[in-house]
């Protein structure tokens, strides 16, 4: 549809002065680049674990709040339901009652009939 | 270099003068030349970059961010001047002699890597779902419909719509990946980034890197724009040119299976 820059932006031309996305940098400098064992050994597993840890840290720092709000507000069911919750309540209770009796009937081994 | 310092390697080029660049911890960047190659290095204090300290520091996220950005900044500056093989973060030697020895020992590999990336740049293409797939308002529920049943029905329709949108996006992403691969010398994928890291409102479905000849970079960018227009189920982001981090690994055989 559209070409978007990820934010913080790294649109074409990284040299443009905008800092590149940390995730983009880390996945490259940690996972890639030529691997030659130097005199100081840091084993690969440490770095892989670190990547996972980093994801968790970034997640908790930057957007835990956002995620917490978003899922609630963007769930159309939860939102719309809030509005007419009261009027639906009686109906729900009635339906619950009917369903319960229907389950009881089924569990008692009666052939399933039309309960409506 | 005294024994209090270690030597951090950023990149290797055939020849370069990195004087004037500032590296990790504000240290001056210099070169170690050997075997017709030049390693771009700077001195770093052993207290932070010795084995035990390095391991500990790598787990400190703010230390890691600073170091990764400094490492990347030097590589990027070098790559603007000269074809250079970027080294993975934390390639550290105890002395310049160790670096020189590495250049001698790995000269053939390094030259091969340089040849592969000469006049080429790395471009990142991320593909996201076009928008949050939550449907707008739920349809009015039918008069005789029970609220519980209506809920389940809506929920199912919503889940189906999400699934369809995701499936459509994955199909588009695959087509785009292959289309762009035809313009590139090489392509590889990273795991999609989580929204927290990508800073995106929608899910990332593909995170790819391409090695593109410089004289085809404009065509590549145009192709990204064209494909974006052709595939409404997804959004694309193009980043680059990056130093070709993703295309210098010796261990590339490990990746061919994925």
Model pLDDT for residues A50-89, shown as the tens digit of each residue: 666 666 666 665 544 444 434 333 444 444 444 444 455 6
| Residue ranges in chain B whose pLDDT is less than 70 | 1-3, 132-143, 196, 250-258
Residues in Cβ contact with B205 at an 8 Å cutoff, skipping those fewer than 6 apart: B127, B128, B129, B166, B169, B170, B173, B192, B234
How far is the alpha carbon of B212 from chain A, nearest alpha carbon, in Å? 14
- Residue B241's CB: how many other CB atoms inside 10 A? 21
How far is the alpha carbon of B234 from chain A, nearest alpha carbon, in Å? 6
Tell me what the pLDDT averaged over chain A comes to.
60
How far is the alpha carbon of A108 from chain B, nearest alpha carbon, in Å? 24
CB contact under 8 A, A34 and B229: no
**Model ipTM over 0.90:** no
State yes or no: pLDDT of A116 exceeds 50: no
More confident residue, A12 or A56: A56
Residue A16 confidence (pLDDT):
38
What mean pLDDT is predicted for residues A42-48?
Answer: 59
What's this model's pTM, rounded to 2 decimal places?
0.73
Nearest by CB to A3, from B94, B110, B237: name it.
Answer: B237
Give the pairing of strands B186-190 and B204-213.
Answer: antiparallel
Going by the DSSP 8-state scheme, the letter that residue A20 receives in this structure is P
Q: Which residues of A touch B176 (CB under 8 A)?
A: none
Going by the DSSP 8-state scheme, the letter that residue A3 receives in this structure is B
State yes or no: pLDDT of A37 exceeds 90: no
More confident residue, B80 or A105: B80
Residue A33 confidence (pLDDT):
74
**Distance set, CA B97 to CA A36, B25, B88, B130 (Å):** 15, 22, 20, 53
How large is the C-alpha radius of gyration of chain B?
24
CB contact under 8 A, B248 and A23: no
Q: Which residues of B touch A10 (CB under 8 A)?
A: 124, 239
Tokens 């790294």: give the residue.
Answer: A10
- Residue in A closest to B191 by C-alpha: A27
């Amino acid at each position: 549809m559209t070409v978007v820059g990820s934010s913080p932006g790294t649109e074409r031309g990284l040299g443009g002065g905008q800092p590149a996305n940390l995730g983009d940098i880390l996945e490259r400098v940690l996972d890639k680049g030529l691997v030659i064992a130097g005199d100081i050994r840091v084993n690969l597993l440490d770095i892989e674990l670190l990547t996972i840890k980093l994801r968790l840290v970034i997640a908790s720092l930057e957007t835990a709040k956002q995620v917490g709000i978003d899922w609630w507000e963007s769930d159309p069911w939860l939102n719309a339901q809030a509005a007419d919750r009261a009027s639906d309540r009686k109906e729900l209770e009635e339906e619950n009652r009917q369903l319960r009796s229907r389950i009881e009937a089924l569990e008692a081994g009666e052939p399933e009939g039309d309960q409506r | 270099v005294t024994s209090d310092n270690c030597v951090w390697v950023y990149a290797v080029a055939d020849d370069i003068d990195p004087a004037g660049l500032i590296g990790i911890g504000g240290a001056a960047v210099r070169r170690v030349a050997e075997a017709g190659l030049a390693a771009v290095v700077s001195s770093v204090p052993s207290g932070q970059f010795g084995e035990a300290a390095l391991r500990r520091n790598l787990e400190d996220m703010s230390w890691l961010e600073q170091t990764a950005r400094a490492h990347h900044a030097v590589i990027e500056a070098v790559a603007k001047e000269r074809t250079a093989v970027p080294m993975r973060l934390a390639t550290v030697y105890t002395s310049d002699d160790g670096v020189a020895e590495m250049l001698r020992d790995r000269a053939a590999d390094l030259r091969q890597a340089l040849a592969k990336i000469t006049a080429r740049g790395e471009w990142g293409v991320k593909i996201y779902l076009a928008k949050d797939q939550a449907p707008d308002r739920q349809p009015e529920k039918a008069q005789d419909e029970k609220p519980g049943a209506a809920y389940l029905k809506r929920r199912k329709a919503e889940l189906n719509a999400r699934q369809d949108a995701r499936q459509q996006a994955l199909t588009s992403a695959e087509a785009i990946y292959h289309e762009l691969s035809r313009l590139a010398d090489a392509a590889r994928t990273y795991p999609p980034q989580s929204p927290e890291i990508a800073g995106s409102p929608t899910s990332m479905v593909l995170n790819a890197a391409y090695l593109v000849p410089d004289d085809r970079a404009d065509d590549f960018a145009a192709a990204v724009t064209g494909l974006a227009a052709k595939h409404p189920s997804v959004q694309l982001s193009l980043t680059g040119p990056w130093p070709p981090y993703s295309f210098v690994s010796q261990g590339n055989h490990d990746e061919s299976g994925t």
